[in-house]
C-alpha cells in the first residue's frame, strides 16, 4: 500500500512569521532609551544622567549668585539715591535758612585803623579834655552836648576813681562798623567801674571816641524808666537768655525771655535785685535779631535796646521794642531793620 507523502506547505519565511504573530490591534512602540530624543529620566540614565544633574546644579547656583548680586546692587543704588536726595534736601534747607537770616559780612573800613600807640594816646587826650570847644574834635557826641561831656569827665574821679591803666583791645567788627577798643581801668576801690572807650572814624576819616558808649548813657535815665515816669527808654545793657515767664509774658509760646543787667544796676535796684527781664514777641524782627546776636558761642553780650513798659508787668519786666545795636555804639542802621 502506497503511503501518501505528507505535503508541507511551502511559504516564504516572511509569511510564516507574520502568521505566527498574533494580531493584538494598535500598538505603541517604546522608544529606545538610547535613541535620539529619548525622555528617559536622568536618574536612570547612568553616567550621562549624573553629568546632566551636576550641570543643572551648577546652573542653579550661578543663577542664585547672580540673583543675590543683582539684589544687593539694587539695594545699594536705592540707598545711594536716597542719600543724595537727603543731602540735596539738607542743602536746600540750609540755603533757605541762610536766605531768611542774612549773614553779616565783615566790614572793611576805607580808612586805616590807628595802631596801639595812636589809639591809647587818643583816649588819654579825650579823657583829659576840660574845654568844651575841644570836645567835638575828640568825641563822637551823639545826643550829648560838649558841656555835658566835660561835666561827666570832671565828675569822673569822684564817681569812678582814678584811672590806673589803659589796655588796647584792637579792632572789633560791630554791626558793619569797624571799631577800635580800649579798656579803661580804675583803682582797686573802683575796679568794677572799668569802662570801654570805642573809637570810630567820622566821614573825613578822623577817629574819635564815642561818648555815649563810654558813659553807658540811657535816655531817658534808668530812674525814670524804673519808676514809671518814662514808658520807654534807650538803654545800654548786658543781655543773656532767661526763662522767667510771668504776668503779661506768661505764655512761653508767644514770648522769648532775656535777662538784662545794667552796668549801673547796683545803684538802681534794691540789694539782691541786680537783673531785669526783657521780652520780645516770637517771630518778630526783634526776636530774630536777638537770636542772631546771642548764638550758642555767645551767651552774654553787650547791646543797646529800646525797652518799654508793658501793661500789667511788674517793675522789672519790659518789652523789647527795638534792637538797636549788638554793642554800645549805635550804627547808622538799627540791628533789627534787616530782619523785618
Domain locations along the chain:
116-215, 222-339
Give the pLDDT confidence score for residue 16 in this predicted structure.
43
Fold agreement (116-215, 222-339): no
Query: How many helices and strands, by DSSP H and E, does the chain display?
Result: 10, 10
Integer Cα distance of 39 and 30 in angstroms: 11
Give the pLDDT confidence score for residue 11 in this predicted structure.
46
Interacting residues of 61 by C-beta distance below 8 A, sequence separation 6+: none
Give the pLDDT confidence score for residue 50 in this predicted structure.
63
Interacting residues of 167 by C-beta distance below 8 A, sequence separation 6+: 182, 183, 185
Query: Topology of domain 222-339, per CATH?
Result: OB fold (Dihydrolipoamide Acetyltransferase, E2P) (2.40.50)
Integer Cα distance of 252 and 142 in angstroms: 37
Let me know: does 212 contact 328? Beta carbons within 8 Å: yes
Integer Cα distance of 335 and 104 in angstroms: 11
The structure's pTM equals 0.65
Q: How far is CA 292 from CA 200, 296, 332, in A?
A: 23, 10, 19
Q: Is the dihedral of CA 317, 321, 325, 329 positive or negative?
A: negative
Whether the upstream peptide bond of residue 220 has omega within 30° of 0, thus cis, is: yes
The series of mean pLDDT values per 10 residues for the chain, 340 residues long, is 45 44 45 48 51 72 79 76 60 46 48 86 96 96 94 90 89 78 84 85 91 94 87 94 92 94 66 75 95 86 94 91 94 91
Integer Cα distance of 288 and 301 in angstroms: 15
| CATH number among 3.30.390, 1.10.10, 1.10.357, 3.10.450, domain 116-215 | 3.10.450
Q: Are strands 232-241 and 300-309 parallel, antiparallel or unpaired?
A: antiparallel
CA atoms within 13 A on the CB side of 105: 3
Let me know: does 218 contact 265? Beta carbons within 8 Å: no
Let me know: does 143 contact 293? Beta carbons within 8 Å: no
Chain centre to alpha carbon of residue 223: 39
Tell me the helix, strand and coil percentages in the chain, rounded to 5. 40, 25, 35
The C-alpha cell at 50 is: 549624573
Amino acid at each position: 500500500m502506497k503511503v501518501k507523502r505528507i505535503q508541507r506547505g511551502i511559504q516564504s519565511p516572511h509569511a510564516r512569521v507574520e502568521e505566527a504573530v498574533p494580531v493584538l490591534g494598535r500598538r505603541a512602540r517604546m522608544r529606545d532609551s538610547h535613541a535620539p530624543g529619548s525622555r528617559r529620566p536622568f536618574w536612570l540614565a547612568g553616567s550621562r544622567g549624573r553629568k546632566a544633574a551636576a550641570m543643572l546644579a551648577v546652573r542653579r547656583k550661578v543663577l542664585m549668585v547672580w540673583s543675590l548680586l543683582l539684589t544687593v546692587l539694587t539695594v545699594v543704588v536705592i540707598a545711594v539715591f536716597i542719600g543724595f536726595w537727603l543731602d540735596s534736601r539738607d542743602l536746600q534747607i540750609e540755603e533757605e535758612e541762610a536766605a531768611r537770616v542774612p549773614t553779616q559780612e565783615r566790614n572793611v573800613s576805607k580808612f586805616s585803623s590807628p595802631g596801639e600807640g595812636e589809639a591809647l594816646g587818643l583816649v588819654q587826650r579825650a579823657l583829659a579834655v576840660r574845654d568844651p570847644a575841644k570836645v567835638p574834635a575828640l568825641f563822637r557826641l551823639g545826643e550829648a552836648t560838649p558841656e555835658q561831656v566835660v561835666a561827666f569827665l570832671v565828675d569822673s574821679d569822684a564817681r569812678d576813681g582814678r584811672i590806673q591803666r589803659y589796655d588796647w583791645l584792637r579792632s572789633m567788627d560791630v554791626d558793619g562798623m569797624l571799631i577800635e577798643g580800649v579798656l579803661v581801668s580804675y583803682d582797686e576801690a573802683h575796679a568794677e567801674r572799668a569802662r570801654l572807650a570805642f573809637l570810630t572814624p567820622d566821614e573825613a576819616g578822623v577817629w574819635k571816641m564815642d561818648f555815649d558808649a563810654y558813659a553807658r548813657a540811657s535816655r531817658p535815665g534808668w530812674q525814670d524808666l524804673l519808676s514809671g515816669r518814662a514808658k520807654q527808654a534807650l538803654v545800654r545793657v548786658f543781655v543773656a537768655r532767661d526763662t522767667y515767664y510771668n504776668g503779661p509774658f506768661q505764655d512761653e509760646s508767644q514770648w522769648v525771655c532775656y535777662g538784662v543787667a545794667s552796668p549801673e544796676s547796683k545803684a538802681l535796684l534794691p540789694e539782691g535785685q541786680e537783673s531785669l527781664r526783657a521780652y520780645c514777641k516770637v517771630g518778630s524782627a526783634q526776636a530774630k535779631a536777638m537770636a542772631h546776636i546771642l548764638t550758642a558761642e555767645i551767651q552774654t553780650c553787650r547791646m543797646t535796646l529800646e525797652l518799654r513798659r508793658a501793661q500789667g508787668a511788674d517793675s522789672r519786666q519790659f518789652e523789647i521794642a527795638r534792637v538797636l545795636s549788638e554793642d554800645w555804639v549805635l550804627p547808622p542802621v538799627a540791628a533789627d531793620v534787616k530782619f523785618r
